[in-house]
Amino acid sequence: MFELVNLEDVVRVPPDRFGSPLEKVAMDLLKLKYESTINPEHGYLVLVTKVDVDKVGKIIAGDGATYHRVRFEVLSFYPLKQEIVEGEIVEVTDFGAFVRIGPADALLHLSQIMDDYLNSDVKSGIITATQSKRTLRVGSRVRVRITAVSLGHGISMGKIGVTCRQPFLGAVEWIEEEVAKAAKARKAAERTEK
């Protein structure tokens, strides 16, 4: 789930940046420190959007910089267990596929794709089901449910596990086929009732 989070910190403005607008300097420093990091409380920190800097800073003896308290807003992505998300397959491996959901890649293990024997062709980037002949490939859009979330801290990647072994999950084409079959069956049932 994406959300805007309000945070507070103190920025150190070095002497060589004293002539620049304080808001811009603070934004640059916060972007370097926070963007593309993981925070266990707020998830993946994607983008610093707003900055409010105290104009009056503090000077510490022996350091020529000024320190300013800042309040800022960050766009974050926190994957929630049981949340249903759509993403794109970005890599196929021997053990499954990686699905890009927001700023992160989640693991879709072969055992979590469907009830069918699957063959993984890493070179071609395709996973094929033996009986149903359904395929997943790099670039396929999929709807998945998040089953596991383990977030690190700082710039470590964190781990997300997903599944599509439930009704109306999987490749978008599969879902459209299931919806069409259900609508056809409903129409046939309505005709027999009349």
For residue 172, the domain's CATH number is: 2.40.50.140
Helices (H), 10-90: 22-34
Assess if residue 193 is contained within a domain.
Answer: no
Q: Which residue has the higher pLDDT, 29 or 189?
A: 29
Boundary of a domain, candidates 51, 77, 103: 77
Q: 97 — phi, psi (to 5°)?
A: -145, 155
- Does the pTM of the predicted model rise above 0.85? no
Contact between 184 and 177 (Cβ < 8 Å): no
Instruction: Flag whether 63 is in a domain.
Output: yes
In this structure, of 10-24, 123-137, 146-160, the range with the lowest mean pLDDT score is: 146-160
| Number of structural domains the chain divides into | 2
Q: Does one domain contain both 108 and 167?
A: yes
pLDDT score for 40: 84
In a domain, 183, yes or no: yes
Name the residue range of residue 175's domain.
84-188
Rounded to whole angstroms, the Cα distance separating 110 from 118 reads 7
Cα-Cα-Cα-Cα dihedral sign, residues 112, 109, 133, 101: positive
- Does 168 lie in the same domain as 92? yes
Please state the rounded mean pLDDT for residues 157-186. Answer: 90
Q: In this predicted structure, what is the pLDDT of residue 39?
A: 85
Q: Are residues 16 and 64 in the same domain?
A: yes
Mean pLDDT along residues 64-84 = 94
Q: How far apart are the first and last CA of the chain?
A: 45
CA distance 14 to 25: 9
Same domain, 91 and 24: no
User: What is the rounded average pLDDT of the residues 159-175?
Assistant: 92
Residues 146 and 182 both lie in one domain: yes
Q: Measure Cα distances from 22 to 9, 18, 49, 57, 128 in Å.
A: 15, 8, 16, 11, 56
